[in-house]
Each structure stands twice: as structure tokens, then as C-alpha cells.
Amino acid sequence: MVTAFAPGSIGNVCVGFDMLGLALAGVGDRVTAKRTGTAGISIAEVRGLDGEVHPSLSTEPDQNTASIAARALWQAHGDSTGIELLLRKGVPLQSGMGGSAASAVAAVVAVNALLPESLPHEQLLPFALEGEKYASGGLHADNVAPSLMGGLVLCPAVLLPRMMQIKTPTGVSSVLLHPEMQLDTAKARRSLAKGYTLEQWLSQQAYLAGFITGCAADDHALIRQSFHDVIIEPQRSAAVACFDAVKEAAMKADALGASLSGSGPSIFALCMDSNAPHVASAMEQACRSSGIECQSWVSPMTAPGAHVEDSQ
């Protein structure tokens, strides 16, 4: 019996739509996997953090990213016995915090420990992606990759299965604010514009390249100058009523930048470690002033990836 933890994550990270992700600390999903005599993958139960049976998630193995990912791995490398999963959701549903990816990653990390021959950690990516594909309808690794590997990860579709750990700047944290509302990621994706100008593309590409270069060089001014999403954020932010107020509050509190986490509704900021409590409280206050209850998490940009917590 093995229990694995996989963190939630910030998809896109403002500058890298579909290809950049950042792991969170202290919020994630747990999967316990144990062998059964019956072949195949089953889900024994799905519970929330409070220990109660989860009100909305199904235990149907075809409808859960954890079991879909676990099955892909077990079919490729398992044996003739079966696996039963117990899923404990720590990431709020449809929060834009990479919850479906965290479930898939926790499941493959737990099941990997039960394989006749375990795979190297980074080789679990394609199996976890099978689960994510079910959830988002496409091949986007920007939540799965940071949840698996930790830290800041570049993982564009055209370079998969490669993923590149990006050096994070010293002394920078993320602040993630989750407003208590839900958004449908797949729907958010379908509503994106189809066509873009050369100028839009060049600006956004420049910001991604500037951000990566700024991170590697510990150049906070360059990170700040590059932290803009001129393409996706303007299309999505209107769906999150408190977005403008929360972003403005973060910037006024001297954050390096702020944007939507994934397709929202969560909003995140990057800021110096020492300033994180101040930024978090400014963002929370702005959100509540918009009439929306919220919760926030502070994570170092070096937050660790998924790992086995308990094995017996």
C-alpha cells in the first residue's frame, strides 16, 4: 500500500500559455494505491480534505483523471493483478489550480511504486498526461509537469515528452488566491479567439523569452518587465469578477507580476519572499471587497514535486 502526494500548480504562469507551469506548496491531492486480486484499476473512494466522501467526484474509473492515468501506467508496465485507489482531494475543484493534474500525478507516482519494475520519476509524464487529456480535452502538460517535477517547468506540446526545469530566481515566492467560484476549463478553452496578429505573437513570445532569461539571471527588473499576458488574460479575465481588483492590489503591494492561474478563477502573483504575506493579505482584502470569499497559499518557486509519502 503506497500513498503519494502531488501538488497543485499554476498553469501558463502568465507568459507561457499551455507550456509553462509552477508547482504550489502545501496544497495538493493524495492517492493511496493497493493491490487487489481483481485485474484492472478501481477507485474505492474519493474524499475531500475534511475526510468526508467527496460530494461531486465520481468513483467511476473512466471518469477520474487518477484512475485513467493509473490505468495507462498499469496496462503498460503492471502485471495481471489489479489496483485499488483511494483519492483524497486537497485541491479545490475547477479552481484553476491544477487539481485534475495533481490527482493524475499522485496516482501514477503511487502506482509506480507498486510496479514490478518502477520507472524513473520523469518517465511518468506520458501516463499522467493521459488523465489530463480526459479532463481538458487536449495535450497540455503545464499542470502535470510541475506537479510531477516541482518548481518551474517548461513543457510545450511540440517538445513533449521533454520537459525542461527552468532555474527559478532566488528569493521569489508565488501567492495564489482562490476566489470561491468555479470555472469550466474546457469551456474557457473553447471560447478563445482563433486568429492572432504578428504583433500579438511577437510581444507574447518576447515576454516568455524575457521571463525565462530573467529567472535564470536573477534579474527581478526583467521578470517584472516581462510579466505580461497580452493574448489570453484579456480574453479570460472578464469571467472572474474580482480579477482586476485583485491584480491591482497585488501590483500595488509591489508584486513582480500577477495573472490568472490556468484559466482561472484563481489569481496568482510572484513577489519577493519577504513581501509575500503583505501581497497575500492585499489580494485577499481586494477579493473580499468584491464580495467574494477566498483562500490563499504562499509557495516558494522551488516547491517540491510529487513524492511517495508513505509505503507499507
Q: Is 190 in the site for a second copy (CB under 8 A)?
A: no
Q: Is 19 helix (H, G, I), strand (E, B) or coil?
A: coil
The answer to whether 11 and 21 are in contact (CB under 8 A) is: yes
Size of the site for a second copy (CB under 8 A): 38
Cβ 208 to a second copy shortest distance, Å: 6
State which of positions 7-46 bind a second copy (CB under 8 A). Answer: 16-19
Cell of 2: 503506497
* Cβ 24 to a second copy shortest distance, Å: 22
Segment lying near a second copy (by CB under 8 A), choices 26-34, 62-70, 195-203, 247-255 = 195-203
Contacts of 75 (CB under 8 A, 6+ apart): none
> Rounded distance, CA 142 to CA 156, Å?
8
The least CB distance from residue 164 to a second copy, in Å, is 5
Q: Which range, of 33-41, 63-71, 216-224, 274-282, touches a second copy by CB under 8 A?
A: 216-224
- Distance between CA atoms of 130 and 41, rounded to whole angstroms? 14
Shortest Å, Cβ 155 to a second copy? 9
**Triad 87, 90, 94: Cα angle to 5°:** 100
Among the candidate windows 69-77, 128-136, 205-213, 267-275, which touches a second copy by CB under 8 A?
A: 205-213
Query: From the list 60, 159, 234, 288, which residue makes contact with a second copy (rule: CB under 8 A)?
Result: 159
The one-character DSSP state at 244 is H
Sheet bearing 294-300, strands edge to edge: 257-260, 267-272, 172-179, 294-300
Site for a second copy in 128-157 (CB under 8 A): 154, 156-157
Q: For the chain, what's the residue count?
A: 312
**Cβ proximity of 227 and 257 under 8 Å:** yes
DSSP 53: B
* Interaction between residue 198 and a second copy (CB under 8 A): yes
Q: Does 302 bind a second copy (CB under 8 A)?
A: no
Which parts of this chain interact with a second copy (CB under 8 A)?
A: 16-19, 154, 156-159, 162, 164, 166, 192-198, 200-210, 212-213, 216-217, 222, 225-226, 231
